[in-house]
């Protein structure tokens, strides 16, 4: 008989406070974004300076690996949601409220369900369970939609139709995947930002889906085209079996929903990534620097997930914001791949970020001059193709290049912040690229 599970001492009050803080999100209905941002900043200062003196360690938990970082990060993530995703007009801070729901409901429900009833480990992280993952999707998604509807007075589906409903599901699942992967950052940071970015992209377009039968025909044709490519890739052993299946799905969705323009960007990433991987391959193999993980399912999924999500949203909305998600994610992915492989091939001197301490070539997160320049070229290649094909306007060239390059640099810091896996940092890299591009666009004139 399986022993009855209980939460570690102190964990239940901690989760209850984490979830209960979402009640403050109700105030977003009446605040403008500046006032809301000021409130979040005051909350951070309160948690930093006064909360330890008032409560001490009464909310401490004995869960392994727990720390007080979440207490400080919580208001900072809310601040980021408010600043990045506020909109003029009636919708106001509804998107920020959705992200707040993911932050509060997703994390609290996933943690509680996982610790009490988690029996089936995730294939990409045995320390987390399918039960906890499902708890994040259901708890975070439900609370996020409820807060969105309260703050604006309209639910996402009622305001934007099918695209918003699809975005809620895709964004919440993406957030749950990020929460379950070790990528260096605290699991309160990227998941709510990524999930909100997806919903923001879906609700930024006005074109909408005008011809469902044409979309269905495009997806069917894309499936056939990519099946032929998958058979050829299998014949030359370009990818492993599960990687081939993932690549077929990614290619089908990208071509079918994202049109040939998104598909072109995907092929530039695949061709560029394959080319730099094969440069001085024998030398890298002898030095133990060849990464066979680049041929598997995890590599395809981590680098292509955001492309898939953005392509679906583009097909449903025609949104430039959805196109930007595709381009920024692939720019960051190619920048990272090029920097890593060229750095291994030609980087005789490599440094760790942020200390710039010399480290051996191939060290996770290390940078080199040749690798850094190659990363910049990779980001520029995706940005240039996006503009040249008409997928993005000409003004997006520098922002997309900068977003991909900065995300590549940011990834170098992740191993210094906490436990990481290659899959986790790759996915975090693409999401960071899209978030940076979104932030840059806020600073640019319309």
Give 103-127 as a DSSP string: IIIIHHHHHHHHHHH--SEETTEEE
pLDDT at 363: 66
Using alpha carbons, select from 166, 28, 46 the residue that is nearest to residue 93.
28
User: 286 pLDDT band (50/70/90 cuts)?
Assistant: low
Say how far apart CA 124 and CA 181 lie, in whole Å: 7
For residue 1, is pLDDT > 60? no
For residue 55, is pLDDT > 70? no
Q: Tell me which DSSP letter residue 420 carries.
A: B
CB proximity list for 58: less than 8 A, separation 6 or greater: none
pLDDT at 65: 53
User: 83 pLDDT band (50/70/90 cuts)?
Assistant: very high
Say how far apart CA 22 and CA 280 lie, in whole Å: 53
Cis bond upstream, residue 354 (ω within 30): yes
For residue 283, is pLDDT > 80? no
In tens, the pLDDT along 347-358 reads 677 777 766 777
For residue 267, is pLDDT > 90? yes
Q: Phi-psi region for residue 167, left (φ > 0), alpha (ψ -120 to 50) or beta?
A: alpha
- Name the token pair of 337: 């791949």
In tens, the pLDDT along 332-348 reads 999 999 998 888 878 67
Contact 150, 26 (CB under 8 A): yes
User: 2 pLDDT band (50/70/90 cuts)?
Assistant: very low
CB proximity list for 356: less than 8 A, separation 6 or greater: none
Residue ranges per domain, the chain? 11-56+67-202, 225-443
Using alpha carbons, select from 219, 269, 214, 189 the residue that is nearest to residue 431.
189
Mean pLDDT value across residues 381-396:
97
pTM of the model: 0.92
């Amino acid at each position: 008989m399986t022993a009855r599970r209980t939460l570690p001492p102190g964990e239940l009050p901690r989760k209850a406070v984490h979830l209960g803080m979402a009640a403050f999100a109700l105030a977003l209905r009446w605040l403008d974004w500046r006032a809301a941002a000021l409130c979040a900043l005051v909350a951070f200062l309160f948690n930093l300076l006064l909360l330890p003196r008032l409560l001490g360690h009464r909310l401490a938990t004995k869960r392994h690996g727990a720390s007080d970082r979440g207490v400080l990060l919580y208001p900072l993530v809310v601040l980021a949601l408010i600043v990045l995703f506020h909109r003029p007009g009636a919708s106001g801070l509804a998107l920020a409220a959705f992200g707040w729901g993911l932050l509060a409901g997703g994390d609290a429900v996933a943690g509680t369900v996982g610790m009490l009833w988690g029996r089936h480990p995730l294939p990409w992280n045995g320390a987390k369970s399918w039960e906890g993952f499902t708890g994040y999707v259901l708890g975070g998604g439900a609370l996020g939609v409820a807060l969105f509807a309260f703050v604006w007075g309209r639910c996402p589906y009622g305001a934007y139709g099918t695209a918003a409903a699809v975005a809620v599901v895709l964004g919440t699942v993406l957030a749950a995947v990020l929460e379950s992967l070790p990528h260096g950052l605290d699991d309160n940071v990227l998941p709510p930002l990524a999930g909100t970015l997806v919903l923001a992209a879906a609700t930024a377009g006005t074109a909408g889906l005008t011809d469902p039968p044409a979309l269905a025909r495009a997806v069917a044709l894309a499936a056939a085209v990519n099946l032929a490519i998958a058979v050829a890739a299998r014949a030359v052993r370009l990818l492993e079996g599960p990687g081939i299946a993932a690549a077929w799905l990614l290619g089908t969705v990208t071509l079918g929903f994202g049109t040939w323009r998104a598909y072109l960007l995907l092929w530039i990433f695949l061709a560029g990534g394959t080319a730099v991987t094969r440069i001085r391959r024998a030398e890298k193999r002898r030095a133990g620097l060849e990464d066979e993980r680049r041929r598997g399912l995890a590599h395809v999924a981590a680098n292509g997930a955001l492309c898939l999500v953005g392509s679906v949203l583009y097909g449903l909305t025609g949104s430039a914001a959805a196109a930007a998600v595709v381009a920024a994610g692939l720019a960051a992915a190619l920048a990272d791949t090029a920097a890593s492989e060229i750095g291994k091939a030609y980087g005789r001197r490599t440094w760790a970020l942020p200390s710039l301490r010399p480290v051996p070539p191939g060290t996770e997160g290390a940078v080199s001059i040749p690798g850094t320049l190659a990363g910049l070229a990779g980001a520029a290649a995706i940005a240039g193709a996006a503009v040249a094909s008409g997928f993005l306007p000409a003004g997006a060239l520098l922002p997309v290049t900068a977003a991909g390059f900065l995300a590549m640099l940011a990834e170098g810091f992740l191993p210094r912040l906490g436990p990481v896996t290659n899959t986790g940092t790759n996915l975090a890299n693409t999401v960071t690229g899209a978030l940076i591009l979104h932030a840059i666009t806020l600073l640019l004139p319309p």
